[in-house]
Amino acid sequence: MLTPALSHQGSYRGRFAPSPSGPLHFGSLIAALASYLSAKSQQGQWLVRIEDIDTPRVVKGADSDILHTLEAFGLHWDETVVYQSQRHALYEESLALLEQQSLVYACQCTRKEIKLRGGFYDNHCRLLNLPFAGNAWRLQQNFPIETFNDQIQGQVHIPKKIAHEDYIVKRRDGLFAYQLVVVLDDIEQHITHVVRGADLLEPTARQLGLFQQLGHPAPHYAHVPLAVAKPGFKLSKQNHAPAIDKRNPKPATLSALHFLGFNPPSELDDANIEEILMWATQSFSLNTIPKVLEKPINNGL
């Protein structure tokens, strides 16, 4: 059961939530480092959550490799690591409450059909009263968010068709959808701040609306630039970005700090990873991070 709503006046609680579909790459490090430094610079807590709800994409052993990599880079988390795959009871209970309130409905539309109707779901099945068995579950979008303020990107505008779209909260294959579980997890873990990559700007609007629908305050969001090898080609596990070297974390850490707009002094060239993170924590400010959505990295990474 979800705990009562909390005020943002309490302590800072941030999180890093990787999916175990492969090892951490440089783009992952940027998000993890920014999230960690933001929390620690505010004397806050930093949690790690393994987002393994999309089981077909899970790579065996990737979760352990991710956690070992974070430790090698000095990014030590507070509290026990949470796995989404172990939280089905929470998701089922919350979805049942939405069903009782007639806020979800079954949808039989395929991606091909939606593409033929313009590429955006037009709430076609909302009034058809279809059975849930064998169909996707969609949430009625009663709290559309067309604009929101991001702590790095400033005011963000979301296309109206996306903002008003009824989106999937449980897939046709029976798996819970990311948009639902990420909000339920953030509520249950009392997350107050989310620092992550700019590729998640549009999903943030849906998440903000769902926080309202569930009657809980939303975290403060800050979206860092995406690391791209070239324009339009982001570093990702799907694009086979190379794993960062956990045996030698210092070069990648310094490169990530430069990427985020910080200029580590030359004295840190001979420092260990703990000393680098101490300097970075004391120097950290979201205002230093560039606003650009995509930022190329040099070829040395």
Binding-site residues for ATP: 237
Closest residue by Cα to residue 14 from 284, 296, 235: 284
**Contact assessment for residue 246 and residue 72, using Cβ atoms and an 8 Å cutoff:** yes
Amino acid at position 36, single letter: Y
What is 77-108 written as a DSSP string?
PSSPPEEGGG-HHHHHHHHHHHHHTT-EEEE-
Tokens of 96: 């049942």
- How many other C-beta atoms can be found within 10 angstroms of the C-beta atom of residue 57? 15
Residues facing 42 on adjacent strands: none
Binding site as annotated, residues: 15-19, 51, 107, 109, 121, 125, 178, 196, 237
Annotated binding residues for L-glutamate: 15-19, 51, 178, 196
* Half-sphere exposure for 273 (CA within 13 Å, toward CB): 19
**Distance in angstroms (rounded) separating the CA atoms of residues 197 and 207:** 15
Question: Which amino acid is residue 199, in one-letter code?
Answer: D
Element (H or E) spanning 154, and its range?
Answer: strand 154-157
Binding-site residue positions for Zn(2+): 107, 109, 121, 125
Contact 231, 16 (CB under 8 A): no
**18: amino acid identity, one letter:** P
Provide the CA 201 distance to its chain's centre, in angstroms. Answer: 10
Query: Sign (positive/negative) of CA torsion 233, 235, 239, 240?
Result: positive
Alpha helices in the chain (DSSP H): 26-41, 62-72, 88-100, 111-116, 160-163, 178-188, 201-214, 249-259, 273-283
